[in-house]
Structure formats: C-alpha cells, structure tokens
C-alpha cells in the first residue's frame, strides 16, 4: 500500500472519529429546541450548581489527602498483597452506578450493617449531602489512586535508589523527588476524578435521592428538567461543561511548566 493511500485512510478514520465525538455539541446548536423559549428557573440552576460545587470541593480535598499517601504506600511498601489490593482499588471502576447506589443504601441505610449504628447515634447518611459526598469519593478515589500508581511506575528506579543511598529518608524522597516528578500527573488525575464525580448520576439518585438544594447535583437537575423544560436542561448541561473546563484550566495551571520526565 502506498504511503499516500495509507495517509488518506488514516485521515478518513480520524475525521470520522472526530465528527462522531463532536456530533452531540454540533447537534445541540442546530437543534430546533435551542430556539424554543421556556421560562428558566435560575434559582433551580444555582441550587444544583451550589450542591455540585460544595460536594466536589469537599470530595476532592478528601480524595487528594487520602489518595496521595495511599498510592505511595501501595507502590513502595506493598509486595505480596499488591494484586489483591489493586483488585479492591479497581473494583469500583467496574461496577455499574445503579449497583453502587444500591449496595451503599443497603450498607449505610438505617437498617444496614454500618448505617444502623450511626442511625442510633442520630447520624443519617442516605438522602442528604453526606451521601452525595460519599458517592463522589467512592467514584473518584479509585480512579485517582490508579492514575497515580501508573505515574509512579514510570519513575526511574535508579533515581530512587541513588537518593536512598545518599541518605534520603522516605519522607524526603517523597517530598523532594517522587511527587515533584509526577506533579503533572497528579493534576491530570485530579481533573479526571473531578469530571467523573461531576458526571455521576445513577448511584447518587439511588443513595442520595434527588432533593433540590440538598442532594440534587447538576446531572440530576438535567435529568429532571428534560421532562418539563428542555432549554433549562440545555443550560444546565452548558453549566456542567463550563464548570469542567474551569476546573481543567485551574488544575492545568497548577502543573504548568512541570513534566513527568
């Protein structure tokens, strides 16, 4: 096959993929729905944005504080049980959202194996903001840890061994060498985890409910608005996209100029 023909085939395949991926956005701008005028409840949108923003902020802080030391421990301290631990870490990534929500409700509900004791102490987990945060952590934390472990595996072992021979403690090794080398990967995986948490729908619906101003995230608000106000659903969708892009811009600037090399 000639190089010219191969280039044309590859160009065609790439163009089809790009058109397919961008088709939903293109379709929205040319849709007749975008020209329909419905009254938009901006308070409803702001409530969903507030719940999403608050839960994302809390969840992200917890994911970072737990995920970084956990990934470091698994990489450099775990030997025999590495495969078993990684199976547990990756398991939430394989579960459908509906199953996650149902199992959380059974476990943390008022009759659950854990939830019943919390309920006796006056602590209710399901159907409030705590439930949204827990689901977000459950969704985002495994993805964050898995991504950091991939980055840690690319660090040159000779650098680590040389630093150890020079007398670096584990804390100094982590602070001055390991994590600066993967700073960009940390930022990227924070963004990936956040986007996954923002888009979560099914598990939140089952475990936290769809209560406006309490558990109704942007994804749940979009679902509810689709039946009554398509323009409002579209505006909520654009709000979600804008939020993701703002977070991407902020996270990218944190690692600007750094590389993983």
Spatial distance between the Cα atoms of 67 and 71, rounded to a whole number of angstroms = 6
117-170: per-residue pLDDT in tens?
998 888 889 999 999 999 999 999 999 999 999 888 887 777 777 777 777 777
- Do 220 and 204 touch, CB atoms closer than 8 A? yes
pLDDT for 226-251, tens place per residue? Answer: 888 888 888 888 888 888 888 888 87
CA distance 156 to 143: 23
Task: State what percent of residues in the chain have pLDDT above 90.
Answer: 37
Distances (CA, A) of 224 to 83, 217, 228: 41, 11, 8
Q: What is the pTM of this model?
A: 0.84
Domain positions in the chain: 1-30, 42-254
Per-residue confidence at 260, pLDDT binned at 50, 70, 90? very low
Q: Which among 56, 71, 62 has a CA at the least distance from the CA of 186? A: 71
Sequence-distant (≥ 6) Cβ neighbours of residue 26 within 8 angstroms: none
> In sequence order, what are the residues at sequence separation of 6 or more whose Cβ sits closer than 8 angstroms to the Cβ of residue 17?
none
Collapsed DSSP state (helix, strand, coil) of residue 105? helix
**Lowest-confidence segment of 87-91, 170-174, 256-260 by average pLDDT:** 256-260
Domain 42-254 in CATH 1.10.3720.10? The answer is yes
Question: Which among 151, 251, 233, 241 has a CA at the least distance from the CA of 193?
Answer: 251
Radius of gyration of the chain (CA): 22
Q: Is the dihedral of CA 201, 204, 210, 216 positive or negative?
A: negative
Q: Is the pLDDT of residue 172 over 90?
A: no
């Amino acid at each position: 096959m000639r190089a010219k023909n191969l280039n044309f085939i590859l160009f065609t395949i790439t163009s089809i993929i790009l058109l397919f991926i961008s088709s939903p956005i293109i379709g929205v701008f040319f849709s007749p729905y975008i020209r329909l005028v419905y009254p938009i409840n901006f308070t409803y949108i702001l409530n969903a944005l507030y719940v999403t923003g608050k839960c994302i902020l809390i969840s992200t802080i917890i994911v970072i504080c737990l995920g970084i030391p956990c990934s470091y421990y698994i990489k450099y301290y775990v030997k025999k049980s590495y495969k078993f631990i990684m199976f547990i870490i990756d398991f939430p990534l394989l579960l459908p959202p509906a199953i996650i929500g149902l199992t959380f409700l059974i476990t943390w509900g008022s009759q659950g194996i854990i939830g019943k004791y919390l309920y006796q102490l006056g602590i209710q987990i399901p159907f409030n903001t705590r439930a949204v945060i827990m689901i977000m952590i459950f969704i985002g934390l495994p993805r964050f840890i898995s991504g950091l472990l991939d980055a840690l595996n690319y660090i040159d072992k000779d650098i680590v061994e040389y630093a150890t021979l020079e007398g670096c403690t584990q804390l100094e090794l982590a602070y001055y060498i390991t994590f600066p080398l993967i700073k960009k990967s940390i930022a990227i995986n924070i963004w990936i985890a956040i986007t996954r948490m923002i888009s979560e729908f099914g598990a939140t619906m089952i475990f936290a409910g769809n209560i406006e101003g309490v558990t109704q995230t942007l994804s749940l608000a979009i679902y509810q608005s689709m039946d009554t106000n398509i323009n409002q659903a579209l505006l909520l969708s654009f709000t979600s996209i804008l939020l993701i892009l703002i977070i991407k811009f902020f996270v990218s600037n944190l690692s600007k100029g750094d590389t993983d090399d």
